[in-house]
Amino acid sequence: MSSLTRTLPASWFCSSPLYQLERRAVFLKSWYLLGPVTRFHQVGEEVKYEVAQVSLTVCRRSDEPRDISILNETGSEVKSCITETGLVFSTISDEAPPFDEFFSDLKPLIGKVDFTKLPHRRSIKYEGKFNWKTMVDGYQECLHCQYTHPAFSVYYPPTFYTVYNHTNFSQHVADPKKPDDGLFLYFFPNCTLNVYGGGMSSFRVCPTENPGFTRMEFDYYHEETGAKFEEYFKFVRQVAMEDYELCEKAQENLEKGVYYEGILNPIKETGVAFYQQRVLDMTLAQHDNETRFHPVEMHKTSTSKLGTATQLIDPASS
Ligand SMILES: [Fe+2]
């Protein structure tokens, strides 16, 4: 049993100091999918983003769809990348590595799909009572799908559902018999791209300063307007709300203080193990770094809030 992978402890889903460490360790050092270039269809229109308390303003400058500026709060251009097939990615800090290093094997996969085909139709956002990782946990496995998503499971039977993990992203294959339908991509740490049901959606799980609250942001793309789009929208919103309710319940349980950690299914939950390991590695490296260079400051933090590095992993050891 000891060789089986365990989840992150429940405390990592509930602690404010842990979130602040995670923010410096993970969020300031990552890349974010803002959408395909079609998200920025109006020349001169500003589209606002906020990732881990950093605001970005995105604006298309001319008739050329790839002429897009991405500025932070100080008005400075941030590091960004528009891929050959039209996906716009951005950083929120100079601490992020180069795009090709962060997503080193992404281009061959996304190079096969033209992401500029579907026009942007709608964007929505709302808050959820759960940690950002509670939602990513659910996205990265499909053991819950049969029970939680009865309508979705008819089209994409969870029996075949497979997750392939790469460098900082995962590809989900819902049904190998339908290679042109059902492309699901997770971009570490908090973005997804979902092509299914005749349309395309992208969502960001944006952490707030309260570890128990998250802002969900969804963008929807579809060739059709009117009734056909609304039919697609209703279907994908149903799936999203089923996940939302599940996450609020899971978070309630994480905050009760009884559940501590679990064992991940070695076949069906490799996506969860993959991204949680990235969070763990980056967070512990950040903690070691900060402790090494600022021992006095970190000592204050660690005794009052975080505990030692060991306690970070295992609060029960305190
Ligand atoms: Fe789900």
pLDDT digits (tens, 9 = 90+) for 236-286: 999 999 999 999 999 999 999 999 999 999 999 999 999 999 999 999 999
Q: How far apart are CA 85 and CA 52, in angstroms?
A: 27
8 Å CB contact between 83 and 89:
yes
Q: How far apart are CA 133 and CA 294, in angstroms?
A: 28
Cα 261 to averaged position of ligand 1 atoms, centre (Å): 20
How much of the chain is helix, strand and coil, in % rounded to 5?
Answer: 40, 25, 35
Rounded to 5 degrees, what are φ and ψ at 299?
A: -60, -45
Cα 242 to averaged position of ligand 1 atoms, centre (Å): 7
Residue whose structure tokens are 């039977």? 157
Cα 54 to averaged position of ligand 1 atoms, centre (Å): 28
Strand partners, 204: 191, 217
Q: How far apart are CA 30 and CA 81, in angstroms?
A: 13
Q: Within a 13 Å sphere around the CA of 1, how many CA atoms are in the beta-carbon half?
A: 2
Cα 310 to averaged position of ligand 1 atoms, centre (Å): 32
Cα 98 to averaged position of ligand 1 atoms, centre (Å): 31
Cα 208 to averaged position of ligand 1 atoms, centre (Å): 22
pLDDT of residue 238: 95
Cα 238 to averaged position of ligand 1 atoms, centre (Å): 10
User: Which burial class, exposed, middle or buried, applies to 206 when counting CB atoms under 10 A from its CB (0-12, 13-18, 19+)?
Assistant: buried
Cα 50 to averaged position of ligand 1 atoms, centre (Å): 24
Residue whose structure tokens are 């994908």? 236
Sequential DSSP letters for 132-164? HHHHHHHHT--TTHHHH-HHHHHHS-GGG-EEE
Residue type, 59: C
Q: How far apart are CA 60 and CA 68, in angstroms?
A: 4
Q: How far apart are CA 174 and CA 64, in angstroms?
A: 35
More confident residue, 143 or 230: 230
pLDDT of residue 70: 98
Bridge-based pairing state of the strands 87-90 and 32-36: antiparallel
Cα 299 to averaged position of ligand 1 atoms, centre (Å): 40
Cα 153 to averaged position of ligand 1 atoms, centre (Å): 10
pLDDT of residue 301: 39
Q: How far apart are CA 246 and CA 135, in angstroms?
A: 9
| Band of pLDDT at residue 304, cut at 50, 70 and 90 | very low
Cα 149 to averaged position of ligand 1 atoms, centre (Å): 7
The pTM (predicted TM-score) of the whole model is 0.91
Cα 157 to averaged position of ligand 1 atoms, centre (Å): 13
pLDDT digits (tens, 9 = 90+) for 58-110: 999 999 999 999 999 999 999 999 999 999 999 999 999 999 999 999 998 89
Q: How far apart are CA 244 and CA 150, in angstroms?
A: 15
H-helix or E-strand containing 218? Answer: strand 214-222
Q: Which domains does the chain have, with CATH numbers?
A: 10-32+119-255 (3.90.380.10)
pLDDT of residue 298: 44
Report, as an integer, the average pLDDT of 140-158. Answer: 86
Cα 152 to averaged position of ligand 1 atoms, centre (Å): 9
Residue 41 is given by DSSP the state: -
Cα 60 to averaged position of ligand 1 atoms, centre (Å): 33
8 Å CB contact between 211 and 13:
yes
Cα 104 to averaged position of ligand 1 atoms, centre (Å): 27
Which residues lie below 8 Å from residue 57, measured CB to CB, with a gap of 6+? 46, 47, 48, 49, 70, 71
Cα 241 to averaged position of ligand 1 atoms, centre (Å): 9
Residue 305 is given by DSSP the state: I
Q: Quote the tokens at residue 35.
A: 């959408």
Bridge-based pairing state of the strands 191-196 and 214-222: unpaired
Cα 307 to averaged position of ligand 1 atoms, centre (Å): 34
pLDDT of residue 292: 85
Cα 239 to averaged position of ligand 1 atoms, centre (Å): 7
Cα 246 to averaged position of ligand 1 atoms, centre (Å): 8
